[in-house]
């Protein structure tokens, strides 16, 4: 069978290693007039256009983006699918915010037709912002995850998602039981995990909303399906931490709650991680779990500041996420800009190279998918985003004084948003909903 061949041309930029700091030109590859040769959705070759173009089959479609920056699609490690109409809800701390806004909205997602409509909007919005892979929370309803995976499969995106498990401290319509949460999750794993580009994450919302029996069931699911992911929240808010201590008096601390039920490992993605003791950080480092920074959410809900130097200094792997709808933007560019400010407040810094590495290859490695996404190497999926600094007048004006690539990247991160995303590619095909002239 003849392969379907297409090509993407532009200023290709991708990382080959984690930057050691600002100015680390050895960490990335930049091809000023480059080309991706795509065959059946994967990168078959990457290099200068002058070298690859003469060898394309006659009639191969070539999308030429000129001097626009073409890089691997962005990856978001923590986002809530049922919160598209919760984002920008006024004035509450975490637990009040959940009760007042989130739990009310999530009750709608037992309706398959409603969930399907919302899934279309949600994926439109991700792709409009250049995000081609995300780690996604559904609602407690298996219908929400069915709708999400079905829409992702239709578009060909690589997504990781799971049905929230909650059997206490939530409205009755949002509570399952330990057994039902296990059964529903196991059924979804059987239908979707490893089906095409879809992957499953076992998803106890957080320790407050799951009994010990349910956390034990989540651990059993991970033991039975060790290639699944685990996603949950950890140490986001001081009152949350106090409630966890009251609910689990035998545990040494919040992190120990998850450790006791077998929920910590290299495929565990833990949102927030703001208020951890040295012992907790050591436990996370030993397990290989990922601490996922969610800066716009932490600022909006007033939870605290992510201390990247302390977390990374303890040997804990880290990632970056929007956390919509506590987070205030679907854009990974705006999210990175807020992390920069959060770190500045603590006497730390975030060079542009480090930010773009995290959004692409860094987050891919956190998922154990560094050979498949977040990179431009032969064999990887041809997921890409095209960025145009001239799309925003203030940014275009700023770019007239840019002093090279890193200055351009920092300006894109600081001033950019979905307007600079002129195209998003999934498996080498431009997503129609995100196309601009």
Number of domains in the chain: 2
Identify whether residues 50 and 84 lie together within a single domain. Answer: no
| Domain match, 122 and 166 both | yes
Tell me the pLDDT tens digit for each residue of 76-91. 999 999 999 898 888 7
Q: Per the confidence metrics, is the pTM higher than 0.85? A: yes
Per-residue pLDDT at 87: 87
SS3 at position 37? strand
Statement to judge: residues 84 and 52 lie in one domain = no
The whole-angstrom separation of Cα 203 and Cα 232 is 6
Torsion of CA 284, 223, 211, 163, to 10 degrees: 90
Residues 90 and 173 both lie in one domain: yes
Question: What pLDDT shows up at residue 436?
Answer: 46
Its domain, for residue 62, covers 5-73+375-434
Average pLDDT of the chain, as a whole number: 96
Helix (H, G, I), strand (E, B) or coil at 192: helix
Separation of CA 368 from chain center: 13
Mean pLDDT of 111-117: 97
Query: What CATH number does residue 395 fall under?
Result: 2.30.40.10
Residue-wise pLDDT for 366-411, tens only, equals 999 999 999 999 999 999 999 999 999 999 999 999 999 999 999 9
CA angle 390, 393, 394 (to 5 degrees): 110
Residues 311, 382, single domain; the answer is no
End-to-end Cα separation, the chain, in angstroms: 34
Residues 6+ apart with CB under 8 A from 216: 178, 261
Same domain, 273 and 303: yes
Contacts of 411 (CB under 8 A, 6+ apart): 389, 395, 398, 399, 402
Is residue 87 domain-resident? yes
Spatial separation of the C-alpha atoms in residues 72 and 246, rounded to whole Å: 44
Min mean pLDDT across 1-10, 290-299, 301-310, 418-427 is at: 1-10
Residue 183's CATH number = 3.20.20.140
pLDDT exceeds 80 at position 97:
no
Which of 330, 358, 389 corresponds to the end of one domain? 330
In this structure, are 296 and 429 located in the same domain?
no
145-158 pLDDT, tens digit per residue, is: 999 999 999 999 99
Same domain, 103 and 165: yes
The pair of structure tokens assigned to 20 is 């050691």
Q: Same structural domain for residues 18 and 122?
A: no
| 233: helix, strand or coil | strand
| Per-residue model confidence (pLDDT) at position 437 | 40
Average pLDDT, stretch 234-258? 97
Instruction: List 320's β-bridge partners, or say none.
Output: 293
Averaged pLDDT for residues 313-331: 96
pLDDT of residue 434: 55
Q: Are residues 90 and 65 part of one domain?
A: no
Examine the domain organization and report whether 113 and 149 are in the same domain. Answer: yes
Which of 270, 304, 330 terminates a domain? The answer is 330
| Assigned token pair, 265 | 């490992």
DSSP letters of 345-412? TTT----HHHHHHIIIIIHHHHTT-TTTSSS-STTSB--EEEE-GGGSHHHHHHHTT--SHHHHHHHH
Domain end position, chosen among 275, 308, 330: 330
The radius of gyration of the chain's CA atoms, rounded to the nearest angstrom, is 21
For 103, the 3-state DSSP assignment is: helix
Contact between 289 and 234 (Cβ < 8 Å):
no
Q: Determine, yes or no, domain membership for 189.
A: yes
166-180 confidence digits (pLDDT tens): 999 999 999 999 999
Is pLDDT above 90 for 220? yes
Phi, psi of 104 (to 5 degrees): -65, -45
Same domain, 392 and 324: no
Q: What is the pLDDT of residue 433?
A: 56
Partner residues linked to 12 by β-bridges: 31, 70
Per-residue pLDDT reduced to its tens digit, 178-217: 999 999 999 999 999 999 999 999 999 999 999 999 999 9
């Amino acid at each position: 069978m003849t392969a379907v061949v297409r090509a993407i041309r532009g200023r290709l930029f991708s990382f080959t290693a984690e930057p050691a700091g600002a100015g680390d030109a050895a960490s990335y590859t930049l091809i000023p007039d480059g080309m991706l040769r795509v065959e059946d959705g994967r990168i078959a070759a990457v290099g200068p256009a002058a070298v690859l173009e003469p060898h394309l089959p006659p009639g191969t479609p070539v999308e030429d983006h000129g001097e626009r920056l073409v890089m691997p699609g962005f990856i978001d490690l923590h986002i809530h699918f049922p919160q598209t109409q919760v984002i920008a809800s006024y004035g509450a701390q975490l637990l009040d915010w959940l009760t007042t806004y989130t739990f009310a909205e999530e009750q709608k997602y037992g309706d398959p037709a409603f969930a399907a409509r919302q899934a279309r909007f949600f994926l439109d919005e991700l792709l409009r912002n250049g995000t081609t892979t995300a780690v996604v929370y559904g609602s407690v309803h298996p219908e929400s995850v069915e709708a999400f995976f079905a829409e992702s499969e239709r578009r060909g995106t690589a997504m990781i998602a799971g049905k929230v498990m909650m059997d206490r401290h939530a409205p009755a319509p949002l509570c399952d039981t330990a057994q039902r949460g296990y059964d529903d999750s196991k059924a979804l794993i059987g239908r979707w995990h490893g089906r095409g580009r879809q992957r499953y994450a076992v998803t106890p919302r957080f320790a407050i909303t799951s009994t010990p029996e349910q956390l034990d069931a989540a651990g059993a699911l991970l033991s039975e399906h060790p290639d699944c992911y685990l996603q949950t929240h950890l140490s986001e808010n001081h009152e949350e931490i106090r409630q966890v201590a009251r609910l689990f008096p035998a545990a040494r601390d919040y992190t120990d709650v998850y450790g006791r039920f077998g929920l910590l490992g290299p495929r565990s993605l833990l949102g927030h991680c703001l208020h951890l003791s040295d012992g907790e950080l050591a436990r996370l480092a030993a397990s290989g779990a990922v601490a996922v920074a969610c800066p716009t959410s932490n600022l909006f809900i007033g939870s605290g500041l992510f201390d990247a130097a302390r977390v990374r200094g303890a040997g804990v792997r880290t990632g970056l996420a929007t956390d919509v709808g506590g987070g205030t933007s679907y854009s990974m560019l705006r999210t990175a800009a807020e992390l920069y400010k959060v770190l500045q407040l603590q006497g730390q810094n975030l060079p542009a190279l480090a930010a773009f590495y995290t959004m692409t290859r860094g987050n891919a490695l956190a998922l154990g998918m560094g050979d498949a996404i977040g990179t431009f190497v032969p064999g990887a999926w041809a997921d890409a985003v095209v960025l145009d600094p001239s799309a925003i007048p203030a940014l275009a004006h700023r770019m007239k004084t840019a002093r090279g690539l890193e200055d351009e990247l920092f300006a894109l991160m600081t001033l950019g948003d979905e307007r600079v995303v002129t195209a998003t590619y999934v498996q080498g095909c431009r997503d129609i909903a995100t196309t601009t002239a």
